[in-house]
């Protein structure tokens, strides 16, 4: 099965002051619905089962598929972590029925500035106080189409 991936940060993207924002969640749902995308967690929330559960339950509540996974902590930067995940995923027989056609990262940290070469056409940045907006939706859909 062909699929597309969003590497999702949480704080400043979907969440402000530890609370998941309903409007940002709805906006994420729009992106996921239009592009048939699965989510991989790249946020530091991935390290904590309780935080992952909070993300999962908000996804369930709004009708987004469960997380496809989360990045490891290998590598020096978040970009490294994303590329490690993509490489490992390719080698995993458990997911042999899934073929990744496109991917982006959504983050309020400037991953493009961090690694322009590897993030070119793969990155949508949010403003930490706004999270996923109409503008984010447009950019994400454009890159995933």
Q: State in angstroms the smallest separation of the CB of 58 from Mg ion.
A: 16
Residue 9 in the binding site for Mg ion (CB under 5 A): yes
Is-contact 133 16, C-beta < 8 A?
no
Residue 11 in the binding site for Mg ion (CB under 5 A): yes
Q: State in angstroms the smallest separation of the CB of 70 from Mg ion.
A: 14
User: How many residues in the shown chain lie near Mg ion by CB under 5 A?
Assistant: 4
Is-contact 58 65, C-beta < 8 A?
no
Residue 131 in the binding site for Mg ion (CB under 5 A): no
Q: Is 101 left (phi over 0), alpha (psi -120 to 50) or beta?
A: alpha
Cα separation, 87 vs 84, whole angstroms: 5
Which region, judged by CB under 5 A, interacts with Mg ion, from 2-10, 44-52, 73-81, 86-94? 2-10
Q: State in angstroms the smallest separation of the CB of 113 from Mg ion.
A: 14
Q: What is the DSSP letter of 55?
A: H
């Amino acid at each position: 099965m062909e699929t597309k991936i969003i590497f999702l940060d949480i704080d400043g993207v979907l969440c402000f002051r530890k609370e998941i924002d309903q409007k940002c969640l709805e906006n994420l749902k729009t992106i996921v619905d239009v592009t048939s995308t699965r989510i991989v967690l790249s946020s530091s929330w991935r390290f904590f089962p309780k935080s992952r559960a909070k993300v999962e339950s908000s996804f369930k509540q709004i009708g987004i598929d469960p997380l496809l996974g989360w990045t490891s902590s290998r590598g020096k930067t978040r970009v490294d972590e994303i590329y490690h995940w993509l490489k490992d995923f390719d080698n995993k027989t458990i997911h042999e029925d899934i073929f990744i056609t496109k991917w982006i990262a959504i983050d309020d940290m400037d991953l493009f500035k961090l690694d322009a070469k590897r993030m070119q056409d793969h990155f949508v940045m949010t403003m930490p106080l706004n999270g996923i907006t109409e503008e984010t939706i447009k950019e994400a859909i454009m890159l995933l189409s």
